[in-house]
Amino acid sequence: MNSNADPYKTSNKHLAPRPGFVLDVDRTSPPILFHHGDQFKLEKLPAGRSRVIYPPEPLEGLADPEGAIRHALANPIGDSEPLAALLRPDMKLTIAFDDVSLPLPPMRRPDIRQRIIEAVLDLAAQAGVDDVHLIAALAIHRRMTEDELRHAVGDRVYDAFAPSGRLYNHDAEDPDGMVVLGETPHGEDVQFSRRAAESDLVVYVNINIVSMDGGHKSTATGLSGYTSLRHHHNVHTMRNSTSFMDQKNSALHASNWRMGEVIRDAGVKIFQIETTINNNTFGRTGPLSVLQKREWEWNAKDRASFIAMQKGLEVLPSKARRKIFSSWQAPYEMTSIQAGEVEAVHEITTANVFKQQSVAVEGQTDILTMGLPYICPYNVNSIMNPILVMCLGLGYFFNMYRGKPLVREGGVLIMSHPTPWEFHPVHHPSYIDFFEEVLADTTDPIEIERKYEKKYAEDEWYIHLYRNSYAYHGVHPFYMWYWGSHALQHLGRVIVVGGDPAAVQRMGFQSASTLQDALEMASDVVGPQATITHVKNPPIFMSDVT
Amino acid sequence: MKALQFKRNLPRYAAARIAGSFTPGRGGTVGPLRLTNLEAPEMPGPDWVQVRPRLSGICGSDLATIDGRSARYFEPLVSFPFVPGHEVVGDLTDGTRVVLEPVLGCVSRNLDPTCPSCAAGHLGNCQHTTFGNLEPGIQTGSCHDTGGGWATAFAAHPSQLHPVADALSDEEAVMIEPTACGVHAALKAQGAATIAVLGAGTLGLVTIAALRAQNPELTILATARYPHQRRLAAELGADHVVAPQEIRRAARRHTGSRAISRSTDDGAVDRLSGGVDAVVDCVGSSESITDGLAITRPGGRIVLVGMPSQVSLELTPLWHREIQLIGAYTYGTETAADGTPVRTFDLAADLVSTADLGQLVSAVYPLNRYQDALEHAAGAGRRGAVKIAFDLRSEKERDQL
């Protein structure tokens, strides 16, 4: 089902959302809001050589999400029968769903996953299916807590399935719970959840926040483990993905697609349900809505609320700020849902993601600036440690492009984030060791991969904590570092504004106290009149760079 | 004779304690230590000789005394007034260059028969340090009768003196005494395959060198607070050098242990399920010994080299994990690998030469700049230094004796 033909879409209840926009900064341009962790800064960019890329305004959401879901399940796309036709009483049904890393920030209840899972379970019940398992497809992310699972699937589903052990987190290190289904022509092992592999049908419930999500990656990554992940979560793949947000130029996607074929050829039948959301991250009204507006359109109320928020945050301790922001749930609206055969579904999903997120940008820049927010996929209800800062800036924001990177090769990336030397000891134990041991030795991804990855990946304590506590897998910080390896290779310098100097130095970056300092430091690399591009992100967008 | 003399003076001692608590080493300014002119020490016995120091090191135990931090334990083991200084390379009147083995054991006290420890060559364990022909004092530098190295001359018994090979510089020679402490500690930790050395001051560094010389296959973890300490620790043989607060995780990583947290929710590494075979603690604080107990495997050993003074400890792990906590004060006679006895000082002299430990002497001062010297020594780590020594080679009083 293409969302263009969506019968459940209503007329726009908001004014027509405007597309993304590139502002050339002149002397009359106001200071630009930079996210700075759980604080904000207003920065004046140099006139005449700076530009700001603004995300498109939020698209309208589907007026009747439940109706759209039922419609999608009954009208699949690609080579697939309607879901109801795939269900029978004696079957094994596994419903896998995206974990806590999506979306960012978490969405207000009811979560899309809840809506879809309830619809799928209704159909399963009607068909008399008894053997149903629900699995949070978290690969090697940390396990979701009960609260987080309840948020994702809803209390009704949680209470019906969790007590009997039929709703649980994927365990990629369970020796009895994982199987290897085969090998791709490239020699990549395809490891998979045994329960999913032995099911008659796997229904995957996805939320696409960026174009990297979904498709075969949902299952080939989400329900796999280190045995498979090491084949594409590595430096070579990352450096050969330009970008990994662009499926056609992503070695990461290519590997997942190869693995998807092996999974399919092994007889695993997957019914893929993908959804897209708009970028209504901070709301059209309310306390954070100013973050979604363009600065020159701020009215007096916006300015007052921003200044009050900024000053209020300044006097709070970091724990209190973190608590405030962790409690923010975005009023996202579902903009499309499509179900059926994986690749056909994903093609439409990706188009719908780009419909919301694409911004045409002409030419590359010498200096790319970005204000990093308080959250990334791996610190939900947690701490944004320095490695995650690196990953968000160099791994995610840098890669939010199609065509060419926004910044030219040899250019400078300036990120604004406090980058405290602080880790969540429960969620990120191996990160602490990675920071203390690995980065103290080298920041070169190739060297890191060669020298340390296996030891961390196979460390029994990390595996124990991943399986029994709420820790990311031992190898996860390596993947975060690799995520930024393309940017590391591409850039001439990385500067962090307002970061803890020791933490920034440990990562091989330079710290600057102000944006002005950072621009002066950058001039050593790109000259005094270098062009500057600022990505006003979040909400998330993708630059189509020509 | 020019000398730094430490007198019994309780008000000044209290002042030193206060000043030293604010600025380590400052006790030398307000405390009982004074630069003075003294008569050259009389020889306590017929065979004693006069030593004229060339270099005389400043030890952590000296600093503890000067800053009023030394334990009351030592009160009966010193005799006032005394001249500190026990890390000495000097000249005899016949020009022979010697290093001092400062322990004042039974032989130097003219006791016969000697105590069992001295009879076995374990001079550091002498049981008669307050008896015999000398005033109390466990070593030269704390005994009134002998004088000490922070002067242009002192008295020494021939049994305390070791000739220095011509090939050794004065800087290397003055490192022999502290190196002997490290050698002794390393031998007490013998048999371990993985060792953590806590602290990378002088004692930590020489201990690392001694451990490495003793066993090339040994895995040595070390803690170091400052960049130059990290560099030196690695150069002298540590395989992995981390910040002190990182040692528990580092020990876990390198021993394949699991970590145990007091609370399952906080993720802290409170102790390890296994750990290193041995810890050599060259700090001696509550924190370092607690770290040692956290990272030593059941049945392992902690060798305490750093002077602990009064510490507060949770000793349950010592009991539960059957860990041995042993001291390593000084040297004497060791047992070589082939079973033969060998003087620790001889082993140390070899090690100083082969490991280039003279490089650890970072700065030297004349006696009249003793306040600067003491503050430098007390702040050696953060000031990029290791061993600070008095240089008496140019003191005119030395030539007038």
Nearest chain B alpha carbon to A464: B258
Instruction: Report whether A244 contacts A238 (CB < 8 A).
Output: yes
**Mean pLDDT, rounded, for A488-504:** 98
CA distance linking residue A15 with residue A246, whole number of Å: 30
Flag if B246 and A436 touch (Cβ within 8 Å).
yes
Instruction: Report residue B111's pLDDT band, with 50, 70 and 90 as the boundaries.
Output: very high
Flag if A429 and B257 touch (Cβ within 8 Å).
no
**Residue to substitute from A145, A381, A437, A506, interface B, most B β-carbons within 10 A:** A437
Within 10 Å of residue A91's Cβ, how many Cβ atoms?
Answer: 17
CA distance linking residue A130 with residue A89, whole number of Å: 7
Write the DSSP symbol of residue B134.
S
Tokens of A407: 């910044």
**Mean pLDDT, rounded, for A182-194:** 98
**Mean pLDDT, rounded, for A36-45:** 96
Query: Would you say residue A303 has pLDDT above 90?
Result: yes
CA distance linking residue B81 with residue B33, whole number of Å: 10
Within 10 Å of residue B363's Cβ, how many Cβ atoms?
Answer: 17
Query: Would you say residue B375 has pLDDT above 70?
Result: yes
Q: Residues A227-243: pLDDT tens digits? A: 999 999 999 999 999 89
Query: Would you say residue B72 has pLDDT above 90?
Result: no
Residue A17 vs residue A385, higher pLDDT: A385
Cα-based torsion angle of the residue sequence A149, A150, A152, A153 in order, rounded to the nearest 10 degrees: 110
Question: Residue A432 is nearest to which of B240, B249, B265, comparing CB atoms?
Answer: B249
Instruction: Report residue B27's pLDDT band, with 50, 70 and 90 as the boundaries.
Output: confident
Mean pLDDT of chain B, nearest integer: 94
The SS3 assignment for B348 reads helix
**Residue to substitute from A145, A385, A424, A426, interface B, most B β-carbons within 10 A:** A426
Query: Would you say residue B262 has pLDDT above 90?
Result: no
Query: Would you say residue B361 has pLDDT above 60?
Result: yes
Helix, strand, coil share (%) of chain B residues, nearest 5: 35, 25, 40
A529 CB-contact burial (10 Å; exposed 0-12 / middle 13-18 / buried 19+): exposed
Instruction: Report residue B315's pLDDT band, with 50, 70 and 90 as the boundaries.
Output: very high
| Predicted pLDDT at B401 | 67
A296 touches chain B (CB under 8 A): no
What DSSP letter does each residue of B320-347 carry, written as one string? HTT-EEEE----SEEE-TTS-EEEHHHH
Q: Are strands A32-36 and A39-43 parallel, antiparallel or unpaired?
A: antiparallel
| Secondary structure element (H or E) that encloses residue A512, with its range | strand A510-512
| Predicted pLDDT at A7 | 47
Q: Which of B228, B208, B224 has its CA nearest to residue B216?
A: B208
The SS3 assignment for A542 reads strand
Flag if B257 and A461 touch (Cβ within 8 Å).
yes
| Predicted pLDDT at A122 | 98
Mean pLDDT of chain A, nearest integer: 95
Chain B CB contacts of A477 below 8 Å:
none
Query: Would you say residue A220 has pLDDT above 50?
Result: yes
Question: Residue B253 is nearest to which of A425, A433, A464, comparing CB atoms?
Answer: A433
Which residues are B326's β-sheet partners?
B303
Within 10 Å of residue B141's Cβ, how many Cβ atoms?
Answer: 29
A502 touches chain B (CB under 8 A): no
| Predicted pLDDT at B9 | 86
**Mean pLDDT, rounded, for A154-172:** 98
Complex ipTM: 0.83
Q: Residues B124-182: pLDDT tens digits? A: 999 998 899 899 999 999 999 999 999 999 999 999 999 999 999 999 999 999 999 99
CA distance linking residue B122 with residue A179, whole number of Å: 64
B-contacting residues in A 414-443 (Cβ below 8 Å): 424-427, 429, 432-433, 436-437, 440
Q: Which of B38, B53, B27 has its CA nearest to residue B4?
A: B38
Q: Residues A436-486: pLDDT tens digits? A: 999 999 999 999 999 999 999 999 999 999 999 999 999 999 999 999 999
B75 CB-contact burial (10 Å; exposed 0-12 / middle 13-18 / buried 19+): exposed
Tokens of A261: 């074929």
CA distance linking residue B238 with residue B236, whole number of Å: 6
Instruction: Report residue A3's pLDDT band, with 50, 70 and 90 as the boundaries.
Output: very low
φ/ψ (deg, to 5) at B92: -85, 165
A471 touches chain B (CB under 8 A): yes
Tokens of B276: 């290193």
Q: Residues A309-338: pLDDT tens digits? A: 999 999 999 999 999 999 999 999 999 999
CA distance linking residue A425 with residue A414, whole number of Å: 28
Tokens of A330: 């975005």
Q: Which of B2, B360, B72 has its CA nearest to residue B201?
A: B360
- What's the full length of chain A, in residues? 546
Flag if A464 and B258 touch (Cβ within 8 Å).
yes
**Mean pLDDT, rounded, for A204-218:** 97
| Predicted pLDDT at A15 | 63
Tokens of A326: 């962790």
| Predicted pLDDT at A16 | 81
CA distance linking residue B28 with residue B34, whole number of Å: 8
**Mean pLDDT, rounded, for A259-265:** 98
Q: Residues A55-66: pLDDT tens digits? A: 999 999 999 999
Instruction: Report residue B338's pLDDT band, with 50, 70 and 90 as the boundaries.
Output: confident
A451 touches chain B (CB under 8 A): no
Q: What are the Cα distances from residue A304, in Å, to A208, A282, A312?
A: 34, 17, 12
| Predicted pLDDT at A4 | 39
| Predicted pLDDT at B108 | 93
Min Cα distance A421 → chain B (Å) is 13
CA distance linking residue B85 with residue B374, whole number of Å: 12
| Predicted pLDDT at B28 | 85
Min Cα distance A327 → chain B (Å) is 20
| Predicted pLDDT at A6 | 45
**Residue to substitute from A142, A433, A461, interface B, most B β-carbons within 10 A:** A461
**Residue to substitute from A142, A436, A460, interface B, most B β-carbons within 10 A:** A436
Residue entry with tokens 């074929």: A261
The one-letter amino acid code at B208 reads I
Residues of chain A with pLDDT > 90, as a percent, come to 96
| Predicted pLDDT at B264 | 67
Query: Would you say residue A9 has pLDDT above 60?
Result: no
Q: What are the Cα distances from residue B50, in Å, to A437, A444, B17, B47, B392?
A: 52, 60, 33, 10, 15
Nearest chain B alpha carbon to A455: B253
